[in-house]
Amino acid sequence: MRQSQTETRRQNVAKRSMTKEAKQLSSLIAGLRESLDGIHKERSSTKLSGAEIGLLDERRNNLLLTIAALDDRLSAVQGLIDLGRPHIIRVH
């Protein structure tokens, strides 16, 4: 019985941790999407040189890659929570 309680406690801690991570990822992704919108507006609203357009395009591409990676991570975290198999992810 003791081992079962310990395991339940671990799973509850892991679920809270992963839920917190999911919320943080969601807000980070939302902020990055706002930055993406800002880049789009800046690119379309002002007269820019070719070099400036290139820099904005590079920033946009980097943001898109970052958002895609964070979306993948968020999907994985939510999937583990939905499956009822949360675990604390250790980053080395």
Model pTM score:
0.80
64-91 average pLDDT score: 85
pLDDT of 92 over the 50 cut: no
Residues 6 or more apart in contact with residue 70 via CB below 8 angstroms: 25, 28, 29, 32
pLDDT for res 87 = 66
pLDDT digit string, tens, across residues 10-64: 888 888 889 999 999 999 999 999 999 999 999 887 788 989 999 999 999 999 9
The pLDDT confidence band at residue 88, using thresholds 50, 70 and 90, is low
Please give the structure tokens belonging to residue 29: 């992704």
Q: Which of 57, 32, 30, 31 is nearest to 42 (CA)?
A: 57
pLDDT for res 6 = 81
The residue ranges of every structural domain in the chain are: 2-83
Backbone angles phi, psi at 66, to 5 degrees: -65, -45
